[in-house]
Structure 1
Amino acid sequence: MADWYRRKTWTKIDEEEFFVKLGRARKDGRAQYLKIQAIELVDTKDKKLLKVADMLLNKMLTEYPDDNFNKGSALHTLGNIYKEREENTIAIDYYKKALDFETVYPNVKTQAYLDYSELIIKTNDTSKFGEVEDILIERQPKLLFPLEKYIVNSILSIINKHNGKTERAFFYAELAEQNANSETSGLRYHKKLGLVNKRETWLDKLL
């Protein structure tokens, strides 16, 4: 049986049971339970459940404003909700809030940097290309998985192409291709983790 805070449905009974158990949980764990439950509902991509997830995350941020461990992830997930709704301006705003929070509280990192960068490229907001390039170059040395390297180098190639830096664009495109075709993660015990199983069609077209 799934944990009470990992429901994929949200009936009246689900809602009542969740909040009863949340009320009985330790106070210092409630923010995390709200966040985890919201993420589970976002994963369904159901529009009605996205609305519930939105409510749960805002409840978390309002009632537990000092919970720094979960805040960045909550902001990132709110970005995902609005991206799923195709409300890209709001999604970008939440991703940026998550990134800004991570500079203040760097102990917990999310994938907000990648989602933010992808959405800036998808919406062709060239005014933010410089900012995205700075973010990705800073993150690049710490990247572990071929999937992340493929996306990051693809975006860097697109930005450099836009800026007329053809050689640099080609350099990053080559790195992206190498990582897209990588057959091992480089990790000793998890060799197939983080590989590119499905290429990003929209990204490849821009490249």
Structure 2
Amino acid sequence: MTDWYRNTTWDEDIGQAFDKKLGRAKHKAQYLNIQAYTLLAHDPLAAAELARRAVATGDVDQEARARLYLGTALAMAGDVDSAVDALEEAIAVEQRNPASRTGAFLDQALLIAMSRRNDMYEIALERLDSEPEILFEQEISTALIAAILIRHELGHDMSEPAARILGLLESFDAEAHAPMPSYLSIDTLRSRLSEVKAGSILPEPAPRAFVGRDRPD
């Protein structure tokens, strides 16, 4: 039987049953966060609302994670600018409370790079450069990809590392198998890395081009 706070679908009846259990729970923000995380891939708008509710509880130990999930949900729904802002708020919470670290800056750096938010290039690189070991934790790392794309946009020659990442991505037959966030289109990522490999900068793409879901009406 599924735990009451791990529903993979969401509707009015499920929400009412969840709220009834939540009303008796001691650690409300924790259960809201778990439910939000569980719904990210299935119903990002519901996940976003649950994450907002977790933030509203005022639980300082759960706030950074709630804002991380909010940013992820918004990215999956196609609202990239709001996702970047939510992740910035998560980073601010982590700076005030280092014990609540989530790594939100890694997801944000990738969103900044893919959406060409050039107003935030410098701060994203500063955060990535502050922990250089993160760039190489995996053969295909979101941190490394973000750094490659941003540095290319700033005029650096990143053709060699871009070619290496492109070669590694060829080993994945389908987007579902690639070690990337679920809101990221691997085809669009390959296209961006191909630009870097060729040393060209193309016009800014529409934000929805790189997310896995269209922006809701």
1:114 matched residue in structure 2: 106
Which of the pair has the greater relative contact order for Cα pairs under 8 Å at 6+ separation? Answer: 2
1:89 aligns with 2:81: yes
2:19 counterpart of 1:19: yes
For 1:82 and 1:197, locate their aligned partners in 2 and report how far apart those are by CA, in whole Å.
20
Contact 1:151 1:176 in 2 (8 A): no
Distance 2:64 2:77 in 1: 20
Answer whether contact 1:153 1:173 (CA < 8 A) is retained: no
Residues 1:136 and 2:122 are matched in the alignment: no
Equivalent residue for 1:164, pick from 141, 155, 160: 155
Aligned amino acid, residue 155 of structure 1? A
**C-alpha contact 1:72 1:101 (8 A) present in aligned 2:** yes
1:37-52 counterparts in 2 under 5 A? 37-44=35-42, 46=43, 50-52=44-46
How many residue pairs match? The answer is 184
Change (3 A) 1:99 1:171: farther
Q: Which runs of 5+ in 1 are unaligned?
A: 183-194
Rg: which structure is higher? 1
Kept in 2: contact 1:181–1:196 (CA 8 A) = no
**Cα RMSD over matched residues?**
2.8
Structure 1 residues 127 and 201: CA distance shift in structure 2, 3 A: same
* Identity, % of aligned positions: 26
Structure 2 stretches of 5 or more lacking a match?
Answer: 172-176, 194-217
- Aligned match of 1:102: 94
Corresponding residue for residue 203 of structure 1: 189
Match of 1:68 in 2: 60
Distance 1:58 1:6, change over 3 A: same
Distance 1:52 1:71 in 2: 17
Report the counterpart of residue 185 of structure 1 in structure 2. none
1:123 aligns with 2:115: yes
Deviations 1:124-175 (A, max 9, x none): 122221111111112332467415x532222222222223332xx3565477
More deviation in 2-11 or 151-160?
A: 151-160
Q: Quick check: 1:156–1:172 contact (8 Å CA) kept in 2?
A: no
TM-score between the two structures when normalised by the length of structure 2: 0.71
Write the letter of the residue equivalent to 2:85: D
Structure 1 residue runs of 4 or more that deviate by more than 6 Å after TM superposition: 177-182
**Distance in 2, Cα, partners of 1:88 & 1:36:** 23
Distance 1:22 1:130 in 2: 42
Is residue 6 from structure 1 mapped to residue 6 from structure 2 by the alignment? yes
Map of 2:213 onto structure 1: none
